[in-house]
């Protein structure tokens, strides 16, 4: 079915888009700072995606996409980098509104240190696996920046949001990798999977959403 990927994206977008106009959160009023943040992040990740597709890191099954390709990527893959961040930032804002307590405020530094060490050690021990190494080092460097250089006050809030985002992430990526719409080159991943999802995708997604939220928060501060 050539519309599988499109249907998954529509499912991902539907609820956040519908609830964006809800009177309490009024997420639509934040779109003027959110959309530029998504555009910047999407540009970087699409370049990354084009590169990895070109070198055979992953492949797209033509049976499950509509057939419109731009620079070797199906149009659905381009849309993925706009729709997924939109939905995740919606979750981030909903949690900020309803969960007043900063749940991970005290644990944030410990979480960062553990993640950084885990990512760097794993990347070092598996330096020949390109997806693993590139993703893990990129995320580790970004976490170092947030925790120790910028000392981002929203990092703990991001950790809570990402914990919640993991649930829809597992559903969406589980569909993409089990159908499969996307197939990975096992030579360049750890081949540790959650169901059919390579473990690297968890950290790839985390990096993507953290980048969007970082730019989004920057634009929000500039507006103030």
Q: What is the DSSP letter of 153?
A: T
Residues 5-49: tens digit of each pLDDT? 999 999 999 999 999 999 988 999 999 999 999 999 999 999 999
Question: Which residues have C-beta within 8 Å of that of residue 130, sequence separation ≥ 6?
Answer: 52, 55, 57, 188
Q: What is the DSSP letter of 105?
A: T
Could you tell me which of 107, 82, 101 has the C-alpha nearest to residue 16? 82
Residues 197-216: tens digit of each pLDDT? 999 999 999 999 999 999 99
Q: How far apart are CA 152 and CA 196, in angstroms?
A: 34
Report the pLDDT averaged over residues 115-135: 97
- pLDDT greater than 80 at residue 224: no
Q: How far apart are CA 96 and CA 112, in angstroms?
A: 20
User: By percentage, how much of the chain surpasses pLDDT 70?
Assistant: 100
Residue 182's DSSP bridge partners are 60
User: By percentage, how much of the chain surpasses pLDDT 90?
Assistant: 96
């Amino acid at each position: 079915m050539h519309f599988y990927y499109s249907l998954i994206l529509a499912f991902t977008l539907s609820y956040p888009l519908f609830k964006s106009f809800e009177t309490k959160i009024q997420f639509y009023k934040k779109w003027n700072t959110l959309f530029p943040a998504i555009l910047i992040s999407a540009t970087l990740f699409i370049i990354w995606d084009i590169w990895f597709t070109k070198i055979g890191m992953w492949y797209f099954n033509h049976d499950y996409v509509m057939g419109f390709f731009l620079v070797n990527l199906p149009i659905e893959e381009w849309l993925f980098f706009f729709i997924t961040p939109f939905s995740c930032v919606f979750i981030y804002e909903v949690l900020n509104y309803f969960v007043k307590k900063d749940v991970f405020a005290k644990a944030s530094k410990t979480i960062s240190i553990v993640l950084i060490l885990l990512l760097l050690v794993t990347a070092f021990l598996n330096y020949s696996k390109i997806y693993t190494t590139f993703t893990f080092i990129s995320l580790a460097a970004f976490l170092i920046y947030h925790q120790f250089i910028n000392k981002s006050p929203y990092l703990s809030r991001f950790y809570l949001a990402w914990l919640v985002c993991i649930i829809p992430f597992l559903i969406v990526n589980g569909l993409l990798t089990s159908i499969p719409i996307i197939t990975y080159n096992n030579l360049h991943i750890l081949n540790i999977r959650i169901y059919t999802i390579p473990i690297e995708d968890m950290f790839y997604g985390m990096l993507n959403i953290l980048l969007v939220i970082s730019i989004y928060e920057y634009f929000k501060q500039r507006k103030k």
